[in-house]
């Protein structure tokens, strides 16, 4: 087989694979958007985007007195931002300590982080419920944030620690010779170089609370404290209110803050990767 023909076949297969991935990912998204624009509560329509489309479900979510969607949205954003910022700060400090300092239990601590990832979160649900109930944080957004932050530390700390290990220690030593202390080295050298991995950690920890259902279901009890995933579940779980069109409208809007945060953090990823590629 000629090299030119072989290359054409490879390119064709690549495009077919990309087309298949687009259908797998794009069709459910377009179907959900079309469902959210469908009038009434009908789950099916003749086309993906209905001919007589309407924004009545979006208006109901934001302006109806029977809807708590705005409150759920605010609760979700509070939990997401608090989790993202807190987890990123704690993970960054923890990872830096494991990467640059030698102390008793350092090696065992890293192994402990790995062991924690072996067990599924569902195993700790009863313990989480009892713990939050004991300290009076059951049915509160603060309790939910603490659980998310605690669960984010082990894997993310191990990940960021590996990134810190790739930064040459000669930079630390040069800064110490110039009179820089530990905090100055951390804030002026390590943090700027670690922007790409910290942006990834911040993004993932922002996305998780917006889409999680199990933890809010266990921790939260009052409807005014619900997050989006838990609140929207009521649209399809009630025996006499199986409104999938309102549910679809609510789920579509979850993507808005995630897209905004991704676009904001994208420049840090690009700048960090670009600067790393030009070093030599």
The residues spanned by each domain of the chain are 3-54, 60-277
Q: How confident is the model at residue 46 (pLDDT cuts 50, 70, 90)?
A: low
Buried b (16+ CB within 10 A) or exposed e, 173-182: eebeeeebee
**Local structure of residue 167 (DSSP, 8 states):** S
Which pLDDT band holds residue 273 (cuts at 50, 70, 90)? very low
Contact partners, residue 179, CB within 8 Å, separation at least 6: none
The tokens 């009076």 sit on which residue? 136
Q: Which two tokens stand for residue 209?
A: 């609370």
pLDDT of residue 278: 36
What tens digit of pLDDT does each residue of 55-81 get?
A: 888 998 998 888 899 999 999 999 999
Contact 269, 199 (CB under 8 A): yes
pLDDT of residue 148: 93
CATH number of 60-277: 1.10.3720.10
Is residue 186 predicted with pLDDT exceeding 70? yes
Confidence (pTM): 0.84
**pLDDT one-digit tens code per residue, 98-129:** 888 888 888 788 788 778 777 777 788 888 88
């Amino acid at each position: 087989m000629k090299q030119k023909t072989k290359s054409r076949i490879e390119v064709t297969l690549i495009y077919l694979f990309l087309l298949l991935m687009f259908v797998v990912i794009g069709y459910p998204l377009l179907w959900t958007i079309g469902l959210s624009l469908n009038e009434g509560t009908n789950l099916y329509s003749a086309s993906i985007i209905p001919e007589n489309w309407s924004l009545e479900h979006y208006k109901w979510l934001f302006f109806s007195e029977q809807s708590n969607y705005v409150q759920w949205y605010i609760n979700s954003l509070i939990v997401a931002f608090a989790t993202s910022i807190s987890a990123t700060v704690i993970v960054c400090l923890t990872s830096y300590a494991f990467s640059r300092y030698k102390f008793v239990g350092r090696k065992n601590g890293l192994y402990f982080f790995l062991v924690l990832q072996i067990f599924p979160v569902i195993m700790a649900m009863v313990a989480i419920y009892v713990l939050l109930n004991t300290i009076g944080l059951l049915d509160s957004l603060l309790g939910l944030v603490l659980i998310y932050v605690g669960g984010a530390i082990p894997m993310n700390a191990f990940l960021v620690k590996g990134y810190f290990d790739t930064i040459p220690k000669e930079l630390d030593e040069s800064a110490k010779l110039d009179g820089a202390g530990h905090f100055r080295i951390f804030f002026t050298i390590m943090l700027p170089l670690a922007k790409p991995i910290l942006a990834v950690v911040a993004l993932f920890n922002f996305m998780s609370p917006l889409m999680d259902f199990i933890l809010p279901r266990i921790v939260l009890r009052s409807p005014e404290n619900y997050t989006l995933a838990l609140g929207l579940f009521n649209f399809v779980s009630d025996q006499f209110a199986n409104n999938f069109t309102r549910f679809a409208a609510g789920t579509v809007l979850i993507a808005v803050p995630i897209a905004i945060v991704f676009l904001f953090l994208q420049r840090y990823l690009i700048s960090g990767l670009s600067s790393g590629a030009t070093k030599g």
